[in-house]
Amino acid sequence: MNTGAPSFLIALETSEIGALIRQSAWIYPTANIAHVLAIVLFAGAIAVMDVRMMGGMAGSDPARVVRSARSMAVVALIGVLLTGAVLFTAEASHVALNGIFQMKMALIAFGIVHALFVGNRAVRALDALGPQAPMPGFARFAGALSMLTWLGVVGLGRYIAYN
Ligand code: HEM
Q: Three-state SS for 58?
A: strand
- pLDDT at residue number 1: 85
Structure confidence at residue 163 (pLDDT) = 87
Domains of the chain, by residue range, sit at 7-162
Ligand 1 atom at shortest distance from the alpha carbon of 90:
35
Nearest-atom number in ligand 1 for the CA of 95 is 35
DSSP 130-147: -TTSPPPHHHHHHHHHHH
Q: Which residues of the chain have pLDDT under 70?
A: none
- CB neighbourhood size of 155 (10 A): 12
Q: Which atom of ligand 1 is nearest to the CA of 158?
A: 12
Q: Using a 6 Å cutoff on CB, does residue 1 contact ligand 1?
A: no
Q: What is the dihedral of CA 77, 78, 80, 82, to 10 degrees?
A: 160
User: 23 exposed, middle or buried (CB, 10 Å; 0-12, 13-18, 19+)?
Assistant: exposed
How far apart CA 67 and CA 161 sit, in angstroms, is: 34
**What distance in Å separates the CA atoms of residue 48 and residue 52, rounded to the nearest whole number?**
6
CA-closest residue to ligand 1 atom 13: 158
